[in-house]
Amino acid sequence: MKRTISKDTPLAEITLRKYEKPSSKNKRDLARKICLSLGLLQPGDSRDVVVDVLLVMLEASEELSSSEVEKLTVHCRKKHSLPMLGIAPSNIRRQLLRLRDMFIVEKVKNSYRIKENSTLLSLFEENIEEYYLTSIINRVKEYLKEADKAFRK
């Protein structure tokens, strides 16, 4: 008889990390810390093209197509003397999707921009802190209340 094993797939998840206060004047280092803080990049990860994609999007004064993001990302990596790893068009689109999933970037027709041309702080407060994080915390509290009922007599 074949047994089915259920998989516990989360409806939502988020990784947030706390680092020292920002002090770097280097824009790429700042973008890197943002990616690390938001869980878009793992500590010690050498595959960090998401940093350059975010940097390109933050510095853009207008909407960019995925091919423009790709070209600017390659230029950014060359400028910082970084290896040309992760610059395939499919990977650049994947990184844009990850930034979209974090409510930082939005797609308008066939172009990308920082969501609603807003500030990163307001995007974080409105989308992640108030909506996403609150819903996760509330669900965890539901499980904790249920556990208190089930295990406390």
Q: What pLDDT digit, counting tens, does each position of 101-129 carry?
A: 999 999 999 999 999 999 999 999 999 99
pLDDT band at 7 (very low <50, low <70, confident <90, very high): confident
pLDDT band at 8 (very low <50, low <70, confident <90, very high): confident
- Rounded Cα gap, residues 83 and 73, in angstroms: 12
- Rounded Cα gap, residues 151 and 144, in angstroms: 10
Which of 44, 22, 39, 54 minimizes the C-alpha distance to 136? Answer: 39
- Rounded Cα gap, residues 35 and 42, in angstroms: 8
Q: What is the mean pLDDT of residues 78-106?
A: 94
Residue-by-residue DSSP string for 61-80: SS-EEHHHHHHHHHHHHHHT
- Rounded Cα gap, residues 33 and 126, in angstroms: 20
* pLDDT of 94 above 70: yes
pLDDT band at 153 (very low <50, low <70, confident <90, very high): low
* pLDDT of 52 above 80: yes
Burial of 40 (0-12, 13-18, 19+ CB in 10 A): buried
pLDDT band at 4 (very low <50, low <70, confident <90, very high): low
Residue that is written with structure tokens 């610059």 in the block: 87
- Enumerate residues 6+ apart whose C-beta is below 8 A from 19: 33, 36, 37
* pLDDT of 136 above 70: yes
Q: What tokens does 96 get?
A: 């844009």
